[in-house]
Amino acid sequence: MKPGGFARLERMKGLPRLAAGIVLCALLKLAWTGAGGASPAGVGRWEEEIRAFERSDRTNPPPPGAVWLVGSSSIRLWTNAAAHFPGHVVVRRGLGGAHIREVTEALSRLVLPYGPRVIVLYAGDNDVAEGLTAEAVLQDFRRFVERVRSEQPAVPVVYSAIKPSPARLRWLEVAREANQRIRAWCESQSGVRFVDVFTPMLDSAGRPRPELFVADLLHMNESGYRLWAERLGPVLEELAPPRPERLR
């Protein structure tokens, strides 16, 4: 054999393993995206915020039996949420820009250790805007519920519909379809509820109502949050009758 022939032969023997590795990586990526769009960057991009929550919780632990509002920036910015739900102890955990999968990853650190009474999720908005299909959003929500059930099987989960916003008008129909799929699945489950904030946020022409939003036309103003509270309030009253406890 010519000089260097053995080395070339060893490299050729390694090609099947390399090809298998490439295929495996592709399959893992496909599974992560739900066969329906772009994959999120992972919960690691909020590590600093999550650690800040954990430090705060060590000195001021969230009370057991609270209503937990979790999700993306619409939850993070709802700073007066507790005032909308008198009689409930309300705790918020919002990660700006998060997808449902990322909120699911953070559950074991931010929510589940504290014995929630009800978990309300708002996420899916960013998922759709970054390319996920309606079916992929549904499957991610199902995994969210499975994660809650794995540690807190009796805790009700409420999904607040993906909101329609003027800034994301191009994804309106995908959001509508995702909401419809999630609603149908929730109706087939015990202890899982769907709250429609999508429909009342549309005008008579079926377009998002700009008066419900701040200047960026993506995030809501007080009128938008008041509408959400009106839709969520009766469901919380049913699932977690108010207790005369001090609001958090």
Alpha helices, H only, the chain: 5-32, 47-59, 73-76, 81-84, 100-110, 125-129, 134-151, 172-187, 222-239
Residue 119: its pLDDT value, please? 98
- Residues 43-239, CATH architecture: 3-Layer(aba) Sandwich (3.40)
pLDDT at 229: 98
**What pLDDT is recorded for position 87?**
87
Rounded to whole angstroms, the Cα distance separating 191 from 3 reads 70
DSSP-based three-state secondary structure for 94? strand
What pLDDT, on a 0 to 100 scale, did the predictor assign at position 20? 46
Q: What is the pLDDT of residue 6?
A: 46
Q: What is the pLDDT of residues 227-240, one digit of tens each?
A: 999 999 999 999 99
Structure tokens at 78: 């709802």
State the amino acid at position 98 in one-letter form.
Answer: A
Instruction: For the beta carbon of residue 244, count every other beta carbon within 10 angstroms.
Output: 5
**Cβ–Cβ < 8 Å for 192, 152:** no
In this structure, what token pair is assigned to residue 239? Answer: 């699932």
pLDDT of residue 23: 42
Give the pLDDT confidence score for residue 45 in this predicted structure.
Answer: 85
Contact present, 140 and 126 (Cβ < 8 Å) = no
**Tens of pLDDT along 88-103?**
999 999 999 999 999 9
**Contact by Cβ (8 Å): 157, 121:** yes
Integer Cα distance of 38 and 32 in angstroms: 9
Residue 198: which of 155, 227, 234, 167 has the closest Cα?
227
CA distance linking residue 147 with residue 229, whole number of Å: 26
The pLDDT of residue 242: 75
Kindly list the averaged pLDDT for each block of 10 residues, start to end, along the chain of length 248.
50 49 42 46 79 93 95 97 94 95 95 96 97 98 98 97 98 98 98 98 98 98 98 96 58
pLDDT at res. 248 = 41
Q: What is the pLDDT of residue 205?
A: 97
What residue ranges do the domains of the chain occupy? Answer: 43-239
What integer pLDDT is reported at residue 15 of this predicted model? 47
Q: What is the pLDDT of residue 157?
A: 98
**What is the structure's pLDDT at 32?**
43
